[in-house]
């Protein structure tokens, strides 16, 4: 009985939310800027061990963890997804407490157009994004959708499962979208890492990360007489390449992202013969 009273109180707390602050868990809000999504919410709990952010394209199945929240203190929290997928992006939080209790937040959805991803600039590594996330304070006009926008499902007594807490009054899975809100005014201005500020941070004509697959694509000039080569370096270390491709004869080459040491920003140098042809950065996610 006590557990039911707790859940009912939590529902009243969330239902009383107005856009004066980020919604209270289990509800979450989302904003977006140039193909980068920002999740925000207010956490009213102590003793949280971890908050994993999970994403799906269908709202029901195939949720995968895209990162963890850096700041776990009570109050407003946020997470930046620098690499959403084209189409629908459904998000939820998987919250673990020090007492080993776990539960999911409600879900929220945002749609990202493929053209937005194609025109997106290079994004810093996830660790840098989450450092920046802790300073984000979304305004009401920034928010695209919240998980409490949909009609709530009827309140029912949650089934008892030792070690698991289920959020109360979870909205229907079709929720989380808003049609009537004005266009958001969010402008993230994500800072670049100190290590790459000394270079011109411009997209390359020849080398880029495919926003749909995450693989690195090379589109080279069509000239069978020329031989190209490319080297990739871990950010801040240009002594030893993490990947060296000495001979490129095809004008289109796809390099699987699994060839790299992990996620993050890598510098590349593209050669035509022995001459440096282009250099810049690609993001592996």
Structure tokens that stand for 232 in this block = 């990739």
**Domain 194-284 grouped into CATH 2.70.180.20:** no
Mean pLDDT in residue range 40-57: 93
Tell me: cis bond preceding 79? Omega within 30 of 0 counts.
no
pLDDT at position 152, please? 40
Query: How far separated are the first and last CA of the chain, in Å rounded?
Result: 45
At 59, the pLDDT band (50, 70, 90 cuts) reads confident
Instruction: Kindly state the helix (H) or strand (E) to which residue 42 belongs, with its residue range.
Output: strand 36-43
- Summarize the confidence of residues 206-212 as an average pLDDT: 85
The full set of domain ranges for the chain reads 2-146, 194-284
* Residue 187's pLDDT band (cuts 50, 70, 90): low
State the sign of the Cα–Cα–Cα–Cα dihedral 45, 105, 190, 129: positive
DSSP bridge partners of 55 = 64, 91
Which pLDDT tens digit goes with each residue over 236-282? 777 889 999 999 988 899 999 999 988 888 899 999 998 999 988 88
If one counts every other C-beta atom within 10 angstroms of the C-beta of residue 19, the result is 14
Distance CA 37, CA 53 (A): 12
Could you tell me which residues come within 8 angstroms of residue 61 by beta carbon, excluding any fewer than 6 positions away?
none
Domains 2-146 and 194-284 share a fold: yes
CA nearest 267: which of 243, 233, 239?
A: 233
Mean pLDDT of 142-147: 86
Query: What is the distance between the alpha carbons of residues 256 and 136, in angstroms, rounded to a whole number?
Result: 33
pLDDT in tens, 211-221: 778 899 999 98
The whole-angstrom separation of Cα 222 and Cα 206 is: 12
Q: What are the residue ranges of helices labelled H in 90-207?
A: 114-118, 126-133
Q: According to the model, what pLDDT value does residue 21 have?
A: 66
pLDDT at 133: 83
| pLDDT tens-place string over residues 88-104 | 999 999 999 999 999 99
Q: 188 falls in which pLDDT band (50, 70, 90)? A: low
Closest CA to 253 of 225, 222, 212: 222
pLDDT at residue 197, rounded to an integer: 42
The fold for domain 2-146 equals Immunoglobulin-like (2.60.40)
Of 272, 24, 8, 275, the C-alpha closest to 146 is 24
% of the chain beyond a pLDDT of 70: 74
Residue 212: the pLDDT is 76
pLDDT band at 229 (very low <50, low <70, confident <90, very high): very high
The residue whose two tokens read 């926008």 is 149
Q: Please write the tens of the pLDDT for every residue from 107-140.
A: 999 999 888 887 777 777 777 788 888 777 777 8
pLDDT of residue 162: 37
Kindly tell me if the per-residue pLDDT of 29 is higher than 90: yes
């Amino acid at each position: 009985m006590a557990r039911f009273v707790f859940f009912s109180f939590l529902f009243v707390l969330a239902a009383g939310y107005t856009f004066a602050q980020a919604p209270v868990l289990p509800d979450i809000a989302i904003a977006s800027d140039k193909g980068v999504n920002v999740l925000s919410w207010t956490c009213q709990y102590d003793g949280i061990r971890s908050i994993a952010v999970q994403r799906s394209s269908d709202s029901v199945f195939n949720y995968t963890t895209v990162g963890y929240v850096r700041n776990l203190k009570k109050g407003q929290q946020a997470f930046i997804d620098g690499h959403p997928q084209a189409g629908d992006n459904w998000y939820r939080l998987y919250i673990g407490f020090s007492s080993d209790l776990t539960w999911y937040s409600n879900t929220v959805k945002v749609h990202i157009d493929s053209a937005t991803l194609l025109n997106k600039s290079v994004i810093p590594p996830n660790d840098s994004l989450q450092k920046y996330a802790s300073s984000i304070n979304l305004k009401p006009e920034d928010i695209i959708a919240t998980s409490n926008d949909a009609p709530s499902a009827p309140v029912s007594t949650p089934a008892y499962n030792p070690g698991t807490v289920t959020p109360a009054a979870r909205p229907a899975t079709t929720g989380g979208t808003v049609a009537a809100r004005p266009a958001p005014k969010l402008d993230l201005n994500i800072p670049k890492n100190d290590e790459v500020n000394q270079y011109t941070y411009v997209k390359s004509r020849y080398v880029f990360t495919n926003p749909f697959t995450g693989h690195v694509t090379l589109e080279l000039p069509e000239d069978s007489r020329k031989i190209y080569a490319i080297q990739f370096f871990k950010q801040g270390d240009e002594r030893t390449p993490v990947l060296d491709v000495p001979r490129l004869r095809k004008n289109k080459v796809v390099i699987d992202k699994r060839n790299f040491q992990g996620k993050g920003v890598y510098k590349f140098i593209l050669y035509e013969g022995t001459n440096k042809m282009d250099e810049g950065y690609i993001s592996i996610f």
